[in-house]
Chains A and B, each alone.
Chain A
Amino acid sequence: MPQQKTPTLAAIFSDVLARLAFMFTEDLPVDPIPGGGWIEASVGYKGPVEGRLVLTCTREFATVLASNLLGTDPEDPEADVKAEDAVKEFMNITCGQYITAVHGTEAVFCLSIPEVRTAEAPPADDAGPQQVLLSVDGHLVQLRHQAGPAPAAGAAREQP
Chain B
Amino acid sequence: MPHNVLIVDDSATMREMVKRTLRMAGLDVDGVYEASNGIEALARLAEHEITVILVDINMPTMNGIQLLTRMKQNQRLRHIPIVVASTEGSRERIEQMQQFGAYGYVRKPFQPEQLRDVLKPLLGVKDHAAAENADAGSDLF
Contacts and interface: CB of A to CB of B under 8 A. Distances in A.
A159 B58 contact: yes
Interface string A63-77: 000100111000000
Nearest to B24: A71
A93 interface: yes
B13 A89 contact: yes
Given A89-B14, A106-B92, A109-B90, A160 B63 contact: yes
Interface of B: 10-14, 16-17, 20, 57-60, 63, 65-66, 86-93, 107-109, 111
Interface in A73-114: 82, 85-86, 88-89, 92-93, 95-97, 99-100, 105-111, 113
A121 to B, nearest CB: 24
Nearest to A70: B16
B90 A108 contact: yes
Nearest to B64: A159
A108 B93 contact: yes
Interface string A1-36: 000000000000000100110000000000000000
A52 B76 CA distance: 40
Contact of B87 (A69, A97, A106, A113): A97
Given A71-B20, A86-B13, A113-B58, A93 B91 contact: no
24 contacts: A20-B109, A66-B13, A69-B13, A82-B12, A85-B11, A85-B12, A85-B13, A89-B13, A92-B58, A93-B87, A95-B87, A96-B86, A96-B87, A96-B88, A105-B91, A106-B90, A106-B91, A107-B90, A108-B90, A109-B90, A111-B58, A113-B10, A113-B60, A157-B60
A13 to B, nearest CB: 12
Contacts of B91: 105-106
Nearest to B109: A20
Most buried by A among B90, B91, B92, B108: B90
Contacts of A160: 63, 65-66
Contacts of A111: 58, 87
Nearest to B96: A108
